Amino acid sequence: MPPSRTVVRHQIGSAHGVVFDVVAWGPALAEVDLSVACMFEHEVAGAPVAGGLLGLDQALAGQLTRLRADGAFRAQPMETLLITTPPPAMVPRAILVIGLGDPDLLTSDVLRRATRVAMREAIRHGARSMAFAPSVLDAGHADNAALNMPEVMLDGMLSALAAEVTLAATGLAPAPALQHCTFDVGAPRVQAAALAFAAAFTRLNDAR
């Protein structure tokens, strides 16, 4: 793994011993135990893969899009692909890709379910740190205001984390090792995203 570099973290809150923040990096560059990206069955209107998802595919020598094209990973809703031995030059220690299905059918509920899967799988993996990239813009899905993405993604993460903590309290599973959860954001949007996530975190805490 390459040496650690300085990154600017925008903290948005903490819950159950896990610090949540926003960082301007892509899934291939996230300095975490488990980096999570999402992927549709196909891009919007045949658009090419872009952004962080493109960077991830390139870091994997094109294997991610090749696996999808071959049908080994169809990226259907909540289908997962776990890469436990990424190339040595890659920054994350493991990669999880979660399917979002047809981009024309994307809803807030699909995105919320994906974040719940991400949190559960990170805890199952024993990760101390995770990063999550929705990769929605990377697939050409640009009209996302109605999805309320920061609040929806946080709601999924927090509810899954709370469920895992409750399970551990029963003695039926070990306590989560997770200490840090980062949301990947493109550099031009990081300041606005951090404010939106922080506001969403406050609203969700007030509602609980």
In the structure, what pLDDT confidence band is assigned to residue 153 with cuts at 50, 70 and 90?
very high
Per-chain mean pLDDT for the chain = 94
Share of the chain above pLDDT 90, in %: 85
Strand order in the sheet with 95-101: 9-15, 18-23, 180-184, 129-133, 34-40, 95-101, 80-83
Cα–Cα distance for residue pair 88/109, rounded to 1 Å: 35
Give the confidence band of 206 by pLDDT, cuts at 50, 70, 90.
confident
Q: Report the 10 Å Cβ neighbour count for 159.
A: 16
pLDDT for res 46? 86
Mean pLDDT of 157-164: 97
Confidence check: pLDDT of 35 > 60:
yes
CB 17 within 8 A of CB 179: yes
- Closest by alpha carbon to 161, among 195, 118, 204? 118
Question: What's residue 5's pLDDT?
Answer: 61
What DSSP character marks residue 120?
Answer: H
| Structural element, H or E, at residue 40 | strand 34-40
Q: pLDDT at residue 4 above 60?
A: no
- Structural domains of the chain ordered from first start: 9-207 (3.40.220.10)
Whole-number pLDDT of residue 205: 84
DSSP structural state of residue 170 = T
pLDDT at residue 142 tops 90: no
Helix, strand, coil percent content, the chain, rounded in steps of 5: 40, 20, 40
pLDDT class for 1, splitting at 50, 70, 90? Answer: very low
Question: Does the model's pTM come out above 0.85?
Answer: yes
Instruction: Please compute, for residue 208, the number of CA atoms within 13 A of its CA located in the half-sphere on the CB side.
Output: 11
Residue pair 140/43 in contact (Cβ under 8 Å)? The answer is: yes
CA distances 79 to 40, 76, 165, 182, Å, are 10, 5, 24, 22
Mean pLDDT of 192-203: 95
- Is pLDDT above 80 for 120? yes
CA dist 62 and 46 (Å) reads: 17
